[in-house]
Structure 1
Amino acid sequence: MSKIRVAVIGCGSIAEKRHIIEYAANPNVEFAAFCDPVMERAQKYADEYGAKAFANYEDMLAEIKPDAVSVCTPNYLHAAATIAAANAGAHVLVEKPMAATDGEAEAMIEAARKNNVYLMVGHNQRLMPPHVKAKELLQSAGLGRVLTFRTSFGHPGPEYWSIDGPGSWFFRKEEAVMGAMGDLGVHKSDLIRYLLDDEVAQVTAFIGTLDKKNTQVDDNATVLLRMSSGAIGTLVASWTYYKGEDNSTVLWCENGVMKIGTDPEDQIIVELRDGTVERYNVGAISTNDKQQTSGVIDAFVESLVTNTPPAITGEEGRKSLAVILAAFESQAKGTVISL
């Protein structure tokens, strides 16, 4: 079969570290175009992969008509770029958070449906081998119901990761819309929904800017969640874990506890009430320091090759975003928000 012609919109760090190298490694893909307002960035990849460089996606979509696009722009552009690509007949993989508002998320889903193209959201946490295995064990390891949980994602901040360092769009509220919650928190709302196979029913949150200078976006959040099942737990997102990254989840269940990402060797540890301890070494959870293949690109390409809807649909991305938006509403109103 002919290769899938992919265009990458936005050539910053997430494109560089994940999308571009993972597409390049996939035999079903060829690059058609790269877009970035900083033309040198787009040109660099266009030269490397024999594609065309553009400064804006409107011109690219009109001229190139790609089969699929990755939207790797600042958050405020996710919706506009996704809708434009869908209207141009391209399948879309959009980075998280999928949108800045629920209305935008709804419009993106509708654009994909109307144009009969797939929309996938880049929630890579649920594709990481330890999390896939953890979900399987929750159903088979005799742990029983999840009663309480904590899930955390923290690192020193985007200035250590973004291509623009301290001058990154991540710190500009008009472009980022949200800070640590949009960067990290939405990964965790997606993960907890996936692991527990459950929806968030109620949200209470403390969100603030504790240490980052000259920014209006949040650098820390601690969120209390009640799931539809009744399980309660905390979700933490932080850009001030200066001593190192934490991407761990602990689930306390009727018959024991499951610890994910708490041990440097064994990614999953199950401790049962009868004294049994099971340890699983099942591939790493990707970090900024140790990049692993995210699985997102391969899943997206597989969906296109087999003509099967992606597992992480726009609807899934919208539900995970709704939790984060509810957390901001809770912080603003000082109250519990029901979803």
Structure 2
Amino acid sequence: MSKSLRFGLIGCGRIAPHHARAIQGLPGAELTAVVDVIEERAYRFADDYGAEPHLDYQEMLRRPDIDVVSICTPSGMHAQMAIDAARAGKHIIVEKPMALSLADADAMIAEAKANHVKLCVAFQNRYNPPIQDLRAAVQAGKLGRRLLGNATVRWYRTQEYYNDGWHGTWAMDGGALMNQSIHHVDALVWLMGEPVESVFAYSATLAHEMEAEDTVVVALRFASGALGSIEATTITYPTDLEGSVTLLGERGSVKIGGVALNRKEMWKIEGELEREAEILSENQVDPLSVYGTSHPHVFNDFLAAIREDREPFVNGTEGRAALAVVLGVYESARTGQPVLINHRPG
């Protein structure tokens, strides 16, 4: 496949420019069409990025010149749009979370497979250099046996943020864990290198008027017996404080933080202790927002996966893993009981 791949982007909200710029900066890719139900926004976005505007995503899916669809809509719309795109023969990049239920996630994976298209979930922080470095250290056995893992998200969102009709609702979004913190859940599980076996959680809505939680605390048990914890909140007045992942092992302890999991905050590994100051000075540039700067890597890998007929780095099954943990947390918080995590698609 040598021709340029043509993209259609659905949803012209706050994350969409990151997708549009990534597409435009990638050789062999063209942003051909954009869709939004708000006419003014669709036409303005199309004008900004040199694409053709649509108000109906089904209309765009009928276009034979669209090869790939990028889904940037509210989370509750992801599954049906992805399924429709797969049935139309389009490859799919979908923003996190890929869906709001495991049944929908499994249906997305199944439809992509049945229609011979690729499905990718946008967990861009996996490509951040500090995350890549920690993953390499784990795989090389430098930390020894992983004993304890933690993800902490202490961010702030105003009440106005939740007054837009979909943020903080169960039908379209979820709360602080599903929306703001699923990137950190994904990073924690991926870096620990093993599935979460069970969770126990408390959640509450402490400082906002919204359906879902603005605060959750979680205890985790991994398959090996390692333990973990998650703290996620959007009540950290008046501004974001911390978004981090920490791993403690037999021979090393590492913490990755920064604006978007982009900064090494602690790197104490046996054999490298004397180099910690040097290591902490590498790749320490904070991005302008929590979206980070790694979306181009997601799109670059996805185009390569299409051309090479292989699975993308973060395929549907990978995206499902973090979703399963989040939904297990919600079930535990609702029932007051520990919950075993469902890792079996279907």
Find the counterpart in structure 2 of residue 123 from structure 1: 123
Determine whether 1:85 maps to 2:85: yes
2:185 alignment partner, SS class? helix
Greater shift, 76-85 or 310-319, is seen at: 310-319
Find the counterpart in structure 2 of residue 202 from structure 1: 198
The whole-number CA distance in structure 1 between the counterparts of 2:165 and 2:145 is: 42
Residues 291-339 of structure 1, C-alpha deviations (whole Å, 9 max, x = no match): 4233322222232233321011111111211111100100011010012
Q: CA separation of 1:49/1:322 partners in 2, compared to 1, >3 Å: closer, same or farther?
A: same
The whole-number CA distance in structure 1 between the counterparts of 2:158 and 2:87 is: 32
Q: CA separation of 1:283/1:338 partners in 2, compared to 1, >3 Å: closer, same or farther?
A: same
The whole-number CA distance in structure 2 between the counterparts of 1:290 and 1:82 is: 22
Find the counterpart in structure 2 of residue 232 from structure 1: 227
Give the 5 Å matches for 1:20-99.
20-99=20-99
Find the counterpart in structure 1 of residue 170 from structure 2: 173
Q: CA separation of 1:285/1:314 partners in 2, compared to 1, >3 Å: closer, same or farther?
A: farther
Find the counterpart in structure 1 of residue 13 from structure 2: 12
Find the counterpart in structure 2 of residue 333 from structure 1: 335
Find the counterpart in structure 2 of residue 111 from structure 1: 111
The whole-number CA distance in structure 2 between the counterparts of 1:47 and 1:131 is: 36
2:236 alignment partner, SS class? coil
Find the counterpart in structure 2 of residue 259 from structure 1: 255
Runs of 4+ in 1 over 4 A off after TM superposition: 262-266, 272-275, 283-287
Alpha carbons 1:120, 1:313 under 8 Å: kept? yes
Alpha carbons 1:5, 1:66 under 8 Å: kept? yes
Alpha-carbon shift at residue 287 of structure 1 (Å)? 6.2
Q: CA separation of 1:117/1:327 partners in 2, compared to 1, >3 Å: closer, same or farther?
A: same
1:260 alignment partner, SS class? strand
Find the counterpart in structure 1 of residue 267 from structure 2: 270
Paired residue type of 2:266: I
Q: CA separation of 1:40/1:139 partners in 2, compared to 1, >3 Å: closer, same or farther?
A: same
Paired residue type of 2:217: T
The whole-number CA distance in structure 1 between the counterparts of 2:291 and 2:121 is: 22
Residues 241-263 of structure 1, C-alpha deviations (whole Å, 9 max, x = no match): 23324221221111231122269
Find the counterpart in structure 1 of residue 289 from structure 2: 288
TM-score if structure 2 supplies the norm length? 0.88
Q: CA separation of 1:139/1:172 partners in 2, compared to 1, >3 Å: closer, same or farther?
A: closer
Greater shift, 114-123 or 43-52, is seen at: 43-52
The whole-number CA distance in structure 1 between the counterparts of 2:10 and 2:196 is: 32
The whole-number CA distance in structure 1 between the counterparts of 2:19 and 2:103 is: 26
Determine whether 1:314 maps to 2:316: yes
Find the counterpart in structure 1 of residue 344 from structure 2: none
The whole-number CA distance in structure 2 between the counterparts of 1:285 and 1:53 is: 34
Tell me, which stretches of 5 or more residues in structure 2 are unaligned? 342-346
Paired residue type of 1:217: A
Residues 220-242 of structure 1, C-alpha deviations (whole Å, 9 max, x = no match): 11111111011101112221223
Greater shift, 143-152 or 43-52, is seen at: 43-52
1:34 alignment partner, SS class? strand
Matching residue within 203, 211, 218 for 2:213: 218
Percent identity over the alignment is: 31
Give the 5 Å matches for 1:124-143.
124-140=124-140, 142-143=142-143
Residues 133-164 of structure 1, C-alpha deviations (whole Å, 9 max, x = no match): 1111223473211111211123212778x7xx
1:46 alignment partner, SS class? helix
Alpha carbons 2:151, 2:184 under 8 Å: kept? yes
Alpha-carbon shift at residue 117 of structure 1 (Å)? 0.2
Alpha carbons 1:148, 1:252 under 8 Å: kept? yes
Tell me, which stretches of 5 or more residues in structure 1 are unaligned? none
The whole-number CA distance in structure 1 between the counterparts of 2:285 and 2:53 is: 35
* Aligned residue pairs, count: 333
The whole-number CA distance in structure 1 between the counterparts of 2:317 and 2:328 is: 16
The whole-number CA distance in structure 2 between the counterparts of 1:64 and 1:180 is: 39
TM-score if structure 1 supplies the norm length? 0.90
Alpha carbons 2:42, 2:54 under 8 Å: kept? yes
Alpha carbons 2:105, 2:320 under 8 Å: kept? yes
Q: CA separation of 1:83/1:180 partners in 2, compared to 1, >3 Å: closer, same or farther?
A: same
The whole-number CA distance in structure 2 between the counterparts of 1:284 and 1:158 is: 27
